[in-house]
């Protein structure tokens, strides 16, 4: 469970809110915008990610969360803006160099290379592979030691993610949840400082969900900073130390999980995703309450049960 703001020193400087400075930020983003035609998908004035913590990026569908991830990790180019990791500018840096500098990401739809084995996928995630360059590849002694180190590291990570028995299987043979585990394990091959997870629990069966949650918490325990996108507000409240809320491309709220869930700006953002919902009905209220992880959810369920005593 994340520590609450009353249990630890505050992460921010000043009152929580959009763009609030952090005491020890690892990632700082300024004036990042991205438009598609006449639509503004991302318009983030300023945001900072606290070091060594788990930060959740939440918001309704279409809020710009994945586009924001794509911009920061070099998979898309912004119209304007700058950002830096530990003071090292990543603006305009291609994706592979962003990963080498310590910021890696996973995808909502996994990107495992299906026709390669699990071990081969893992090896691809490692850095400093001398055998990839023509001249060093001709001299076995220049890359053999590093190849052994990479293999040992991959085996250690596969064992940690309980995929070691699958190391010689093709990635195509893995289940959806196992592919999520593989992608997270492969991301760690570069020993990143910041891991960005795009909906890590999407499409994962309940048996593997708890395993993935444990791995995310272990990243924090190992000193790695985590920034993740997630729609399951119960999961956000369970593991996040800090929450950032996006709506219509902008940061509309920031703070500790319990505080953010009660923020009027957050409720407004999610209500906008339910413009067709009958908020006068208890079931409509329940739908919205569940989306934002409201503590009122249990009360609404009780009211529905009282109104429909024969409902199963």
Cα angle, residue 252 at apex, residues 227 and 297 outer, rounded to 5°: 80
Report, in angstroms and rounded to the nearest whole number, the Rg of the chain calculated over CA atoms: 21
The kind and range of the H/E element at 301 are helix 297-307
Helix, strand or coil, per DSSP, at residue 105: strand
Cα angle, residue 98 at apex, residues 74 and 23 outer, rounded to 5°: 105
Q: Of 69, 54, 71, give the one whose Cα is nearest residue 217.
A: 54
Helix, strand or coil, per DSSP, at residue 270: helix
Question: CB under 8 Å, gap of 24 or more: what pairs does 17-20 form?
Answer: 17/253, 17/254, 17/255, 18/45, 18/47, 18/250, 18/251, 18/252, 18/253, 18/254, 19/45, 19/46, 19/47, 19/48, 19/251, 19/254, 20/48, 20/254
DSSP characters over 200-234: TTTT--HHHHHHHHHHHHHHHHTT-EEEEE-S-HH
Q: Which residues are catalytic?
A: 199
Asked if residue 12 lies in contact with residue 63, where contact means CB atoms within 8 angstroms, the answer is: no
The kind and range of the H/E element at 118 are helix 118-124
CB hemisphere CA count around 197 (13 angstroms): 30
């Amino acid at each position: 469970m994340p520590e609450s703001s009353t249990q630890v020193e505050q992460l921010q400087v000043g009152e929580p809110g959009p763009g609030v400075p952090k005491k020890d930020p690892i990632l700082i983003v300024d004036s990042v915008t991205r438009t598609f035609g006449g639509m503004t998908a991302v318009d983030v004035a300023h945001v900072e990610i606290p070091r060594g913590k788990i930060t959740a990026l939440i918001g309704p569908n279409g809020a710009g969360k994945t586009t924001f991830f794509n911009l920061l990790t070099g998979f898309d180019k912004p119209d304007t803006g700058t950002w830096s990791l530990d003071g090292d500018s990543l603006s305009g840096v291609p994706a592979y160099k962003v990963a080498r500098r310590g910021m890696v990401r996973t995808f909502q739809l996994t990107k495992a290379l299906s026709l390669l084995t699990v071990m081969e996928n893992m090896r691809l995630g490692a850095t400093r592979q001398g055998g990839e360059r023509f001249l060093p590849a001709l001299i076995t002694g220049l890359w053999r030691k590093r190849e052994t180190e990479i293999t040992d590291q991959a085996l250690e990570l596969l064992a940690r993610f309980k995929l070691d028995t699958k190391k010689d299987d093709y990635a195509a043979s893995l289940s959806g949840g196992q592919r999520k585990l593989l992608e997270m394990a492969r991301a760690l091959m570069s020993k990143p400082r910041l891991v960005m997870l795009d909906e890590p629990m999407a499409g994962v069966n309940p048996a593997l969900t708890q395993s993935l949650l444990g791995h995310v918490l272990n990243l924090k325990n190992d000193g790695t900073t985590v920034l993740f996108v997630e729609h399951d507000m119960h999961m956000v409240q369970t593991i996040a130390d800090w929450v950032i809320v996006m709506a219509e491309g902008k940061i509309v709220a920031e703070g500790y999980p319990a505080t953010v869930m009660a923020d009027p700006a957050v409720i407004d953002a999610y209500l906008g995703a339910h413009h067709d919902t009958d908020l006068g009905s208890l079931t409509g209220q329940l739908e919205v309450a569940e989306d934002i992880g409201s503590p009122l959810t249990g009360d609404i369920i009780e009211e529905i049960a009282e109104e429909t005593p024969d409902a199963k």
